[in-house]
Chain A
Amino acid sequence: MIYLNNAATSYPRLPQVVEAVKRSLLAPPQEPGRCGFEDPLMACRSAIAKLYGVADPLRVLLTTSATLGCNQILFGLPLQAGSHVITSCMEHNSVLRPLNELAARNECSLSVLPLEDDGSLSIDRVGGALRPDTRLMAFVHVSNVTGAIFPVQALALLAAGRNVPLLIDDSQGAGLVPLDLASLPGKVFLVAAGHKALQGPPGTGFFIVPDAVSLSPWITGGTGVHSVEDRQPPMLPYRLEAGTPNSCGLAGLLAGVTHVLETTPAVLAEHRRTLAEHLVKHLPSPWTHIAPGATADYRAGVVSLVHPTMKPSEIGLMLQEIYGIETRWGLHCAPLAHRHLGTFPDGTLRIGLGEGNTIEEVEQLIEALHQSGNLT
């Protein structure tokens, strides 16, 4: 099998991740506060904090998905009825659906901004959408549909200038396109999935908060400590983490993040970029690809392909069944992106290149795209 769906979930798993999960499962249970051992999740928080230049690891909250982090942030912020939120058409449903839920409950109104013709997000356009009642800006860092990279630094400056919190969905950029949160002004929340370039097991994710007080707990319950309190304890991480954690998954995530820190995001991204550029350069006719913005920055290794007559689902099946090549077809949980790009409702055939892929595999994909895309 040639696995080219790394933008969904990284595969094959790193041996050290598998080993860490196994070790965690075989060791006596070590859930924090529940058995008297030192908090085993602290190392995971610390590694993620290091990746993002965050001084206090307790600002890193561990979850089971980026979606859960998004919900905690969006439902934990004080977005009173009538608040205005600015977001983009490139967002994943993990941001869009909770926002739509809030809008449906009349708690906010949304401005969903399109991209410019060259595929970039215009800071001027975002600035123009700001209103006196804007209470949040929510943007993806790297699009899971095209691999486009959004200008987070400029977004943070803009948001900070108007005292508006910024939510960044870094699920695709984590471990590939560095973000130094310490250098970003204002109130920045970041959320990411653990099972993509960070190489963690599925069912892992995290979010990072600017302080201990900006969010109200969205999920409340057991923490294993401070049990006498009748409400959620006020301090991090307990305030924003309730329930027994996925400690074996998070042990795997720690191994994955450690690997990323040692290898460096620059090296990991360069590998994906090389493969993606090779694919784009040698893309056989009649295929086209959707460029990831004006700068054609392929660090995320995401290449979305379009065929003029064949549906992505049909070609995807052919690649899978005939050649054993796993890709991802459809809308990739980002329906507005496809409406904007003109690829709705069938979506695109997404190639998600990963650490384990080789140029030879990309060559095989190119040949398979040529054969399957030129039926007579």
Chain B
Amino acid sequence: MISSFIPLDDCLGSTHTVRVHLDKPITKSLVDHLSAGASLKYYPHFPKPFFRIDHPCFIAQGVTGNDHFRITYLGVARPLVQDAMWSLFPGTTARLPVAPGQDSGVPTEDQTR
């Protein structure tokens, strides 16, 4: 399950980068689960195995063993990415952060903090 989404300040404009925190460390089988219907590049030879998943609406990158990974997506794809995260991690209630100037549709708890 996803415990939180932390927006990362990457000063790059239209793309959004968010760190996804999980309630347990990432395993290779989770990487495989995440990459269903997407393209996976997996580099086991690094000191920590690195993965990159090119999903139709986001790119996920990280290393196995960590309890977090990074997703990057275009601001306009936020609703799609939100749905994808909820379906990939059932039981998740955390919402993707809303970037300044981006209309979330519904006011969320994150916005009011």
Residues of B within 8 A of A330 (CB): 10-12
Pick 27 A–B contacts, CB within 8 A, sort by A: A313-B10, A313-B12, A313-B17, A313-B72, A314-B52, A317-B61, A317-B62, A317-B70, A318-B46, A318-B61, A321-B48, A321-B66, A322-B46, A322-B47, A322-B48, A329-B10, A330-B10, A330-B12, A331-B11, A331-B12, A332-B11, A345-B12, A345-B13, A346-B12, A347-B11, A347-B12, A371-B46
Closest 6 CB pairs of A and B: A321-B63, A330-B11, A322-B46, A322-B48, A331-B11, A330-B10
Mask, A302-343, CB within 8 Å of B = 1, is 000000000001100110011100000111110000000000
Is A104 among interface residues, defined by CB-CB distance under 8 A?
A: no
Count of chain A residues with Cβ under 8 Å from any Cβ of B?
Answer: 18
> In the bound complex, do residue A333 and residue B11 qualify as a contact, i.e. CB atoms below 8 Å apart?
yes
User: B residues bordering A, Cβ < 8 Å?
Assistant: 10-13, 17, 41, 43, 46-48, 50, 52, 61-63, 66, 70, 72
Where chain B touches its partner, the secondary structure class is strand
User: A residues bordering B, Cβ < 8 Å?
Assistant: 313-314, 317-318, 321-323, 329-333, 345-347, 371-372, 375
> In the bound complex, do residue A318 and residue B50 qualify as a contact, i.e. CB atoms below 8 Å apart?
yes
With A321-B50, A331-B11 known, 19 other A-B pairs at CB within 8 A are A313-B17, A313-B72, A314-B52, A317-B61, A318-B61, A321-B48, A321-B62, A321-B63, A322-B46, A322-B50, A322-B63, A323-B47, A331-B12, A333-B11, A346-B12, A347-B12, A371-B46, A372-B46, A375-B41
Q: How far is the CB of B42 from chain A (nearest CB, A)?
A: 11
Q: How far is the CB of A332 from chain B (nearest CB, A)?
A: 8
Residues of A within 8 A of B43 (CB): 375
Q: How far is the CB of A311 from chain B (nearest CB, A)?
A: 9
Q: How far is the CB of B9 from chain A (nearest CB, A)?
A: 9
Q: How far is the CB of B39 from chain A (nearest CB, A)?
A: 14
Residues of B within 8 A of A345 (CB): 12-13
Q: How far is the CB of B37 from chain A (nearest CB, A)?
A: 22
Q: How far is the CB of A345 from chain B (nearest CB, A)?
A: 6
Residues of A within 8 A of B46 (CB): 318, 322, 371-372
In Å, the complex CA distance between A329 and B15 comes to 14
In Å, the complex CA distance between A375 and B10 comes to 23
Residue from A314, A318, A329, A345 with most neighbouring chain B CB atoms (10 Å): A318
In Å, the complex CA distance between A71 and B11 comes to 21
Residue from B46, B47, B62 with most neighbouring chain A CB atoms (10 Å): B46
Residues of A within 8 A of B52 (CB): 314
In Å, the complex CA distance between A332 and B12 comes to 10
Residues of B within 8 A of A313 (CB): 10, 12, 17, 72
Residues of A within 8 A of B72 (CB): 313
Instruction: Output the nearest chain A residue to B66 by Cβ-Cβ distance.
Output: A321
Residues of A within 8 A of B66 (CB): 321
In Å, the complex CA distance between A294 and B99 comes to 40
Residues of A within 8 A of B62 (CB): 317, 321
In Å, the complex CA distance between A318 and B62 comes to 8
Residues of B within 8 A of A375 (CB): 41, 43
Instruction: Output the nearest chain A residue to B63 by Cβ-Cβ distance.
Output: A321
Instruction: Output the nearest chain A residue to B47 by Cβ-Cβ distance.
Output: A322
Instruction: Output the nearest chain B residue to A321 by Cβ-Cβ distance.
Output: B63
Residues of B within 8 A of A322 (CB): 46-48, 50, 63
In Å, the complex CA distance between A332 and B10 comes to 9
Instruction: Output the nearest chain A residue to B14 by Cβ-Cβ distance.
Output: A345
> In the bound complex, do residue A314 and residue B12 qualify as a contact, i.e. CB atoms below 8 Å apart?
no
In Å, the complex CA distance between A313 and B63 comes to 15
Instruction: Output the nearest chain A residue to B13 by Cβ-Cβ distance.
Output: A345
